[in-house]
Homo-oligomer: A and B are copies of this chain.
Amino acid sequence: RTPLALSSGWRRYCAAAATPTGDAVGEFRRRIRVAEVKGGEDQGAAWVGKELTVRGWVRTCRAQRTVTFVEVNDGSCLSNMQCVLTPETEGYGQIDSINTGASVLVEGVVASSQGVKQKVELKVSKIIVIGESDPTSFPIQKKRASREFLRTVAHLRPRTNTFGAVARVRNALAYATHKFFQDSGFIWVSSPIITASDCEGAGEQFYVTTLLSNSAEGGCLVNSIPSKDGRVDWSQDFFCKPAFLTVSGQLNGETYASALSDIYTFGPTFRAENSNTSRHLAEFWMIEPELAFADLNDDMACASAYLQYVVKYILENCKEDMDFFDTWVEKGIIDRLNNVAEKNFVQMSYSDAIKLLIGSNKKFEFPVKWGLDLQSEHERYITEVAFGGSPVIIRDYPKVCNAHFAVFNWFSKNLIIS
C-alpha cells in the first residue's frame, strides 16, 4: 500500500532546509478541516472557486451516468463534503474501491452546489484511496444501526453521526468547563485517583491491587494471594495497605481551596455500585468546585453562572450537532436548553416550595407534605408553571429527604470559612 504522500509544501520545505547534520522541524501542518469550510455563517460560499484538499472517510458513494457523488466526512463536523467525480478525475479508475468506510484524499475546487442539502461541493480533480473498505464486511452502512449493535463495533462507532456528535459536544462541554473556571480565577487541581480515603463514604469503592496478578496459567490461584492468619495480607500489596479508586476529589480539593482560595477538580471518579440506571456509572468525570470565603449564595450563583455558560457555549459552538440531537434523539432539547441559558435562575427554600405546591391547589399523583421528597411532577410544576420555564434551585432540603442529598450536595457542601 502506498503511504500517504507528504503535502507538497512540506516536501519543498524539507528539500530547502536539508543539511547533513540536522533538518528544521516544519510548521505545524494545518490540514483544512471540513468544519473550517462549511462551518461558517455562509456554509462555505466564500470558498467557491478555491482549491481544497479534504481527507476523510467515505459515507456514501452514488454512481450516476456521468458523475459520481461521494460523501466524505472528516469528523470535524456532522456535515459531509459532497465530492463530485467524473471520468476525467485523476484516480477515477479506483472507483470500485470507493466504498463506505474507505479513507480517501480528494483534491479539487470548491463550487456552488445544485443540491438542496449543501451550499457548496467539491469538483474533484484527483482522488487517492488511502485505505480500502470491504463492502461485504464493513458493518456500518447507511441504514440506522441500534446503539446495542454499535457497541459490538466500538472501534468504528465514532464514525456514526450520533457518536461523532456526542464526541464533539462532550469535547465542547469539557473545554467550556475549563474556560469558565479559568476565566473566573479558579485553579484546576488534579486530585488523586488512587486513594486510601473513602471521602466521607460517598459511595462504594473499587479496590486497586496487585495482589491478584495472574500467577498461574489459567488464572489467579487463590492460595497464591498473600495472606496472614487467613486474611489478605495488605502489607504485601503495592501500596502496603488497601487502596481504592476515588469516589470524589473533595477532600483533596478542600485542602487546596484553603490555600489557593478558588479551585476546581475535573477528572474521573468511580462508584462500585451495581446499579444499572442512567444515573449510575462505574466511571464518570465529575466537576467539583471549592470556593473559599464563600457561602450558599455564592455557591448558587457560581453553579448558575457555570450552567448558563456551558449551555450557551454548546448552543453557539455545536449548532449542527445540537440540531441533530433535536431532530433525531430528543425533540425539544434546544428549547429546554435555551430556557436554561436565557432565563434567570430562581432559588427558594424547600419549605417555601412545599408551601407553593400546597397553595397551587393542583392535584398531584404523589402527596405533597413537608418531609417528603419532591417528585418529577412537583419539580415540573415549579419550573414550568410557577416560574415560567426558569431553572429553579431548591435549597435547605431537610435531612430526612436522603434521596436528594446527592443532587443538592453541590450547593451545600462548599462552605469553607476557616
Contact = CB atoms under 8 A, between A and B. Distances in A.
Contacts of A333: none
Nearest to A33: B185
A288 to B, nearest CB: 15
A83 interface: no
A349 B279 CA distance: 52
B352 A22 contact: yes
A210 B212 contact: no
Interface string A211-231: 111101011111101010011
Interface in A1-36: 1, 3-4, 6, 10, 14, 20-31, 33, 35-36
A265 to B, nearest CB: 11
A302 B348 CA distance: 51
B238 A227 contact: no
The count of identical subunits is 2
Contacts of A145: none
Given A188-B175, A258-B159, A267-B267, A231 B218 contact: yes
A282 B188 contact: no
Interface string A42-79: 00000000000001110000000000000000111000
A412 interface: no
B158 A259 contact: yes
A232 B222 contact: yes
Contacts of A27: 301, 305
A187 B231 CA distance: 47
A193 interface: yes
Interface of A is mostly: mixed
A86 interface: no
A4 B295 contact: yes
Contact of A293 (B25, B130, B207): B130
A407 interface: no
Interface stretch (A268-276, A364-372, A373-381): A268-276
A131 interface: yes
Interface stretch (A107-115, A117-125, A163-171): A163-171
B227 A231 contact: no
Given A33-B261, A283-B192, A208 B207 contact: yes
Given A194-B270, A231-B219, A261 B209 contact: no
A410 interface: no
B212 A25 contact: no
Given A267-B268, A301-B27, A158 B255 contact: yes
Given A193-B268, A194-B206, 16 more contacts: A24-B345, A24-B346, A25-B304, A25-B347, A55-B292, A75-B187, A131-B417, A155-B258, A158-B258, A164-B260, A171-B188, A192-B283, A206-B208, A206-B209, A222-B231, A238-B282
9 contacts: A14-B297, A23-B347, A25-B345, A103-B258, A159-B258, A206-B210, A222-B223, A222-B231, A223-B230
